[in-house]
A and B are shown apart, each in its own frame.
Chain A
Amino acid sequence: MKTIFERPRLEGASDWIPAPSGAAAEAERALGQGLLRDAAPRIPTVSEPIVVRHYTELSKANFGVDDGFYPLGSCTMKYNPKVNEALAAHPGFASVHPSVDPSQAQGTLELLHRLTEHLIGISGMSAVSLQPVAGAHGELTGLLLFKRYFERRGETARKRILLPDSAHGTNPASAAIAGFTVDEIPSDARGRVDIEALRSMLDETVAGIMLTVPNTLGIFEDGIVEITSAVHDAGGLCYFDGANLNAFLGRARPGDMGADVFHFNLHKTLSTPHGGGGPGAGPIAVSEPLAEYLPVPRVVASGDRFDLDWDAEHSIGAVQSFYGNVLVAVRAYAYLLRLGDEGLREVGEIAVLNANYLQERLKGTYELPYEGRCKHEFVLSAKGLANEISALDVAKRLIDLGVHPPTVYFPLIVREALMIEPTETEGKASLDRFVDAMEQIAREAQTDPDLLRSAPHVASVRRLDQTRAARDPVLTYPLDAAEEV
């Protein structure tokens, strides 16, 4: 794949805007040479058709949800309705400067307020902040609320966060940044939190627990109420990672399970696209005791007027420049209006139906380490495949067969893990094709293992050498060399 630096160039500057007047040179002189660049940045001038062909070519070397089945576990890669994109790009939303007086942004503020109310309803909790812009950002914000809560209560010894050994990597990383230490709770033989082990870990040094519900094996913690009660009885707080909300949408609410903080991934559950890794949004819902510590500013309503409230004495402060990822909120709100309660319930039902169907169809061919009903996703292991074919080999071969690979090697408690999340936007025909592909790969593991080890065969590149990139990282294009092209 060529970079833009290797494409045919033009000389001089393109005329995107009127040429600056002669007064520009005077203003530059007034600044003085010491403040000015010696030369323009070495970014080539390229004609518009070359730019279009270059990035169109790059796009074709990508695979998105619109290209095919994308069962990437824990990521909820559902279809993103096109109308949401059009609304997010509406100049009425996109062209409002964040520093305008609230009177100039009444429509956006009302939308944010309505979305906040809906998220409070979905979570069954007391208050919501839309400010965090990603799941991990929501985690950090939630844990800072924990910190402020214990600071205010004078319980400064509560420095430990407990989390299951199956947790997302962002959970421990967020805890560390919020100034906590981390201890892992073992999973039991059923893939759930070992409640007795948890009880033995609870004491006055524990700030709280972080759980993913359902957990990263796709299993619902059927002892959830027992777990949260035990933590609360010990004076701790409960954080719920909401990455897997698709599993119980329209059926249950984290507030009724004992959550103190719950983060939404709007870019997962509420169908805003992932954009190759962002931007997303990670609003948090909180229980009543934590509401006063939420970030500022907060969107408040008084009659049909909407305002920004900065006045919150005990708030942790701000975690993002302004009011969160507003255009992501527009998409999520549009999606909620389309679905309504009935649609939300159907999303959860079909997401779970699809996962259980795939689990049932595949468990004879691949090892299923934790038996039983799954929720929106499940985890298989590739370790029983013939000729020591790995999860990575399976993943790469799926590319040849037109499917985006599942999440591999996560959660860490399953060897050769293949974490599969179909989402509700796949029909039975698509699921059946995936089963065929997985069965074909299991057969090929016996009959033609080298075909799997050398996969993929049809992508724009063959299997890439990750070790080389880690050992001797080349992170920028050599622009000095480019000038000689």
Chain B
Amino acid sequence: MRYIPTTDADRRAMLATIGIETLDALFSDIPSEVRAAFRPLGLGSLSEMEMVAEVEALAHRNAGATRCSFLGGGIYDHYVPSVVGHLTSRSEFVTAYTPYQPEISQGTLTAMFEFQTMISELLGMEIANASLYDGATAVAEAALMTERIRGRGRIAVARTLFAHVRRVLDTYTWGSGIELVEIPYTDAGSIDRDAIPEDVSAVIVQTPNAFGLIEDLEGLKERIGDALLVVSTYPLALGLLKPPGAFGADIVVGEGQSLGLPVSYGGPLLGLFATRREFVRQLPGRIAGRTVDADGAVGYVMAAQTREQHIRRWRATSNICTNSALCALTATVYLAAVGGEGLRAIARSNLEKAHRLADRLTASGQFELVFDGPFFNEFVLRAHEDPKSLMQRVESEGFLIGGGEELSELGIDGALRIAVTEKRTDAEIDRFVEVLGGAA
């Protein structure tokens, strides 16, 4: 086997050193009945060429990989500069472990520190951790953290979270014995401020919400008393939109996939988590901090480790160990490559293309927007045609749209959700409008 460098002669020499005759003797401590019960998979081994052919054949069976996507709902098809993949595939980054030995992990640790700085700036918060698994578990970890701080046993959550985020939040809060109270949305599709319950540890909202609407967070913090405000958001949109931190949010979380990661059928993803400095001891996950070495030179280490499971065990702030480090590096290189001004330009392009498409579709008279409120790059549309047949029609023309089932769960029937990113060209948009039957 090409992945194992040991020769037969090495094996014999090593067995002799150990003082045994056979490899079998190494496993005599496994109970014999357990060994006897062993069954192999019935799997032969393939050469690299055969294996590649087999796996690539599967890749080619994913029809959706080559279609023109107007899907969103938390995961978006954005352009990634070529330089990002080249740098993040360097094996010194890819094949390193968690930076427990900082002196030979300065690459990972410096990038973590840059990531924390960029995410704090983007989300408008004082500190950020070095990543969680995904945006959904980031919301769940935020809920657990607010419960540790306020301890009221109840958390209020806007109904307009993405369904995939809500499902994970439901599982985690059930596990921890926290009651979730749902906040309905108004006729305009926004959080109903008059229906926010009292005596909760936190209020969790999402902006842009599951309808694509930008929530106006002005005054919300004041409205909820001393409950903590948790906002889940879309980081790429914050190139243009005012960050939740500017509205007094206590914790800002989000799915970081839009910052340079492929859509990947939903994994790996990147959980963002940012908060106020005063909560640093309550933060879940790893953080890099700046320090100095024995000569006084600047270097980076994992900071505030006493919160973490390998030291605090069952009193840790989270059980997380392996996180999304390489995805965080990808987001860091992406943000370094595009810069703050570049990110704003990309966000503008999303805003402009989505609004132009919405205008053209509604102008045809065959479609209407379900909500009038402000949106970023995603909107909810109702057609004068059954959404199922509409979806099939556009699919047969090479386009992907969706969101209908999730919207039904949220009480909006017969509608679709359309997301437009900077990657959709004018020609694609024209053709899409033509297929949908909107105005030219």
Contact = CB atoms under 8 A, between A and B. Distances in A.
Given A13-B345, A172-B313, A464-B103, A341 B94 contact: no
Contacts of A152: none
Interface in B283-337: 286-295, 297-306, 308-316, 318-327, 329, 332-333, 335-337
B101 interface: yes
Interface string A85-124: 1010111111111111101111110110000001001101
Contacts of B264: 93-94, 96, 98, 326-327
A476 B116 contact: yes
Interface string A381-413: 000000000000001100100001101001000
Interface stretch (B104-112, B151-159, B187-195): B104-112
A208 interface: no
Given A42-B121, A67-B92, A464-B299, A37 B325 contact: no
Q: Which 9 A-B pairs have the closest CB atoms?
A: A92-B59, A322-B266, A104-B64, A275-B326, A98-B266, A340-B45, A107-B61, A427-B5, A64-B95
B105 A276 contact: yes
A135 interface: yes
Contacts, number: 705
B1 A93 contact: no
A410 B44 CA distance: 38
Interface in A1-55: 1, 3-5, 10, 12-14, 16-21, 23-24, 27-28, 30-32, 34-38, 40-46, 48, 51-52, 54-55
A199 interface: no
Contact of A62 (B55, B87, B106): B106
A41 B120 CA distance: 10
Contact of B345 (A20, A80, A104, A428): A20
Contact of B91 (A64, A324, A373): A64
A461 B293 contact: yes
Contact of B322 (A62, A136, A479): A136
Contact of A399 (B69, B88, B101, B311): B101
B319 A136 contact: yes
B117 A476 contact: yes
Given A37-B241, A87-B56, A134-B133, A3 B110 contact: yes
A282 B335 CA distance: 29
Given A63-B96, A476-B117, A479-B121, A83 B337 contact: no
13 contacts: A41-B238, A51-B83, A177-B318, A252-B30, A278-B324, A278-B326, A326-B266, A337-B45, A337-B54, A343-B45, A345-B40, A428-B13, A465-B292
A62 B355 contact: no
Interface string A258-287: 000000010100010111111110100000
B1 A339 contact: yes
Contacts of A108: 58, 62, 265
Given A13-B345, A169-B312, A256-B38, 10 more contacts: A17-B422, A45-B339, A83-B52, A94-B264, A173-B314, A278-B327, A321-B266, A464-B103, A464-B301, A473-B289
B127 A475 contact: yes
Contacts of B303: 469-470, 473, 475
B345 A461 contact: no
A175 interface: yes
Contact of A317 (B18, B114, B170): B170
A302 interface: no
B307 to A, nearest CB: 10
Contact of A100 (B165, B177, B400): B400
A397 to B, nearest CB: 11
Given A35-B242, A43-B343, A326-B267, A24 B104 contact: no
Interface string B246-286: 00000000010000001111111100000000001000001
Contact of B29 (A4, A12, A317, A373): A373
B322 A135 contact: yes
B365 to A, nearest CB: 21
Contact of B55 (A122, A316, A330): A330
Nearest to B326: A275
A61 B243 contact: no
Interface stretch (B20-28, B223-231, B379-387, B431-439): B20-28
A87 B165 CA distance: 29
Nearest to A140: B319
Nearest to A466: B301
B131 interface: yes
A224 interface: yes
A121 B52 CA distance: 23
B242 A36 contact: yes
Contact of B31 (A17, A134, A224): A224
A51 B337 contact: yes
A327 to B, nearest CB: 5
A415 interface: no
B346 interface: yes
B262 to A, nearest CB: 4
B356 A72 contact: no
